[in-house]
Chain A
Amino acid sequence: MNEKAEELNRVEKKDLFGSGHRACGGCGQALAARLVHDAAGENTIACVATGCLEVFSSPYPDPCWRIPFLHSLFENPAAVASGVEAAYKALKKGPVNIIAQAGDGSTADIGFQCISGMFERGHNVLYVCYDNEAYMNTGVQRSSFTPYGAWTSTTPMGNPTRKKNLPLIAADHGIPYVATATVDDFRDLQRKVKTALSIEGPKYIHILVPCPLGWGHPGELTVKICRLAKDTGLFPIFEIIDGKVTNVKKIPVKVPVEEYLKPQGRFRFLFKKGVPTEKVAEIQEIANQNIERFNL
């Protein structure tokens, strides 16, 4: 039993998502991709959606992947992964880890149909959503994961709607494992990937990945911003195992949302000459609701 725990908690660095990709400096998604695939190991097939990840990682002739990857379209990695899984079953090959992955736009909007279908059919596929809270690759347009009040190029006055809660929607499909994670706590993220891959059935991991360009902060603050997202309560960290919310990461010292909003250029319109507007209080309310709901 202890060996298993050791294996689960061991930090992996194999660079299966290698150097030479064209991500911006400090890209949270590049970091997350490497952490996820190193945790999954070499016996993995990645089904990737069009988006920042695909575009910066797989140009011909020098993709940075060291494990096989399959990319077709923007909205279908879940369906493609279902096909790969079905093929492996039919051909009696494997076992193999199949990770379908996409950004927030592909997961929550245009690809919602596909992942709902994949979850419902019960394929043995891990779905990873890299949530950078907008359609970053096409120029920072709004998605249904864009948080309230954020500037995007299609909501220049601040996003008027609240972030869709996909982890809960995924859990309600009856899948055995759902988790949220951030890139600053790499041990936690890798443990969650390994845990997920040890369970049969559809799994969903939702990773918050700061985008320096789209969020308007310097690349070096990526890890710090993740921490602030957690510590303000705006991004709760938890697992849902067989429908029950568990392993909620409690916040040791609650941080007011201003500290999270101020360093990001996309929230600059929430402050007039450094003074927060009423929107900030509304965002604080969202954070408070999260804290209460998940008992952070």
Chain B
Amino acid sequence: MEDAVAPSKGPDRIAFYTLRGLTRLCDGVGVALMAAILLLIVATVIARDLLVLGMPWTEEVASMLAIYAIGFGSLSAWVRSEHLVVDLFSHKLSGLGKNIQYRLTALISCGFFALAAWGSWIMSDMSANNKTVSLSISFSYLYYGVFFSFAGMALISVWQTLRGPVAWLEAPREEEVVKL
């Protein structure tokens, strides 16, 4: 999407800049969270092995940051269509077939994400008094991370269903992101 040319006018232009801004924001926050996780874990090792100082709370914080990093990364990956897909026949479809398949998969995805977001909201409400061991952080905050990610992907899927495929969103994939 970074290399794509913005549509010249209309709602597509607004959508383009909104989605590009969203991916940049998600990438930036996600990268910052990953860097924080890395530093936390390295600090733990140094403190424990060199200074003989235990920092057991770091595992808790690192796992929590990871949930948010995954949330931001998933949202950005959804905009960029970088989630894993087993492409059996879509490359053989005609223009109309591709359009229908795109909208159908976006619609099903939207339904799934909406249900998952709803479930996350319920869990965040139910877990308000359920707290982590070391720092007593409410589990609600963990579920908020999951909720924002699913709710964001549901909203984008709604837009994808209504708009259909657009060339400027189909950025070339990075090879490493296809499969492990």
* Co-complex (A, B): no
Binding site for B on A (CB under 8 A): none
Binding site for A on B (CB under 8 A): none
